[in-house]
Structure 1
Amino acid sequence: MAGVTGIGGVFFKARDPKALGAWYRDNLGIDVQSWGGAALRWGTPENPSGTTAWSLFSADTTHFAPSDAPFMINYRVDDLDALLAALRANGCNVLDRTDDSEYGKFGWVIDPEGNKVELWEPPQGK
């Protein structure tokens, strides 16, 4: 039987798509193209095909707080500490809390429209 093999894209509304796209380009390094989106390829020699997670949370979760959006996007990053430092230097709203576990390192930033963005540095070799 045919089934889902990954996430083809993440789509969400923005009050000012061009300005929000510029914020993601300038602060998170996403190569936003003229059509308004980007293709994220993150394979590594250790994990050439890569994997993107899709997960459901209970409607009463507080994991997305302080955002009240019904979604949160997790972006894979190569150096969480350096990115968080750069975001702070750019005046971005970076949450003080980070997590470090067997699943990797996690940090969060709030984009200009109030969406919580999760940044994930996977463990070495993953």
Structure 2
Amino acid sequence: MAAPQLNSLLLSSTDPQRLRQWYVAALQPDENADVENYGVLRFGSVYLMIDTRTDISDKSPEPGRIILNFDVDDARAVVERMNSLGVTWLAELDDRDGSLFATAIDPDGNYVQLIQISEAHRNAMGG
């Protein structure tokens, strides 16, 4: 039997349209499928569904519990785009021996980490 595949995440919000618009502007997904009705965004092979719920607060009470990690080709360019949107940073862009990391806070208070792994680190990880 094949292992289950994780191919999507549901990100709940009290204002899903605002949150979807932020993710589209900040991270420019591969596909913006039916944003008006379902808010499905595709980042690589993972779909991010943003929808409303009535059992949550406006801001995430424990934003470090789940961190959305985005592998990017040019972290500096993504940070610059996000800065133009007025993003708040939990952790500014940091060069860790050639790999770049930064953690932003989305409008609902969730942590969004940008990761640009150097070729040397990627090779050391086996791929």
TM-score by length of 2: 0.66
SS at match of 2:119: coil
CA distance in 2, matches of 1:18, 1:97: 26
Q: Which amino acid aligns with 2:85?
A: N
1:71 to 62, 66, 71: 66
Counterpart in the other structure of 2:119: 124
Counterpart in the other structure of 1:115: 110
**TM-aligned CA distance change 1:19 to 1:96, over 3 Å:** same
Bigger fraction of residues in helix:
2
Counterpart in the other structure of 2:79: 84
RMSD (CA atoms) = 2.7
- Asked if structure 1 preserves the Cα contact closer than 8 Å seen for 2:72 and 2:116, the reply is yes
For 1:26-65, what aligned pairs fall within 5 Å after superposition?
A: 26-30=25-29, 31-34=31-34, 35-41=38-44
2:96 to 98, 101, 114: 101
Q: Which amino acid aligns with 1:36?
A: G
- Asked if structure 2 preserves the Cα contact closer than 8 Å seen for 1:84 and 1:94, the reply is no
**TM-aligned CA distance change 1:67 to 1:2, over 3 Å:** same
% identity of equivalent residues = 25
- Asked if structure 2 preserves the Cα contact closer than 8 Å seen for 1:109 and 1:117, the reply is yes
SS at match of 2:12: coil
CA distance in 1, matches of 2:81, 2:102: 13
Bigger fraction of residues in strand:
2
